Amino acid sequence: MAKSATFGVMHLGIAFGVSYALTGSVTIAGAITLIEPVVNTVAHYFFDRWWGGAEQPAPWRRRRGAAQVAVAT
């Protein structure tokens, strides 16, 4: 858990540093630093649903039965 927390803090520091270097504004850099992880979190939620959705598997994934038949023949 400590490693994940440390990485999170490092990520925020890097995001702020890069944003500040590009914009020269503490306000804009701070906004980017706070908004970007929120947007990524929401995008990750929908990506996970799309990737392994129970309703419809990703098109490139085979069903286990189909893979077993292909290996058996």
Total domain count, the chain: 1
Helix, strand, coil distribution of the chain in percent, nearest 5:
80, 0, 20
Residue 58 has pLDDT above 90, yes or no: no
- Report the alpha-carbon distance of residue 23 to residue 38 in Å, rounded: 20
Choose between 52 and 33: higher pLDDT: 33
Residue 12 has pLDDT above 80, yes or no: yes
Residue 21 has pLDDT above 90, yes or no: yes
Full residue range of the structural domain in which residue 31 is found: 2-72
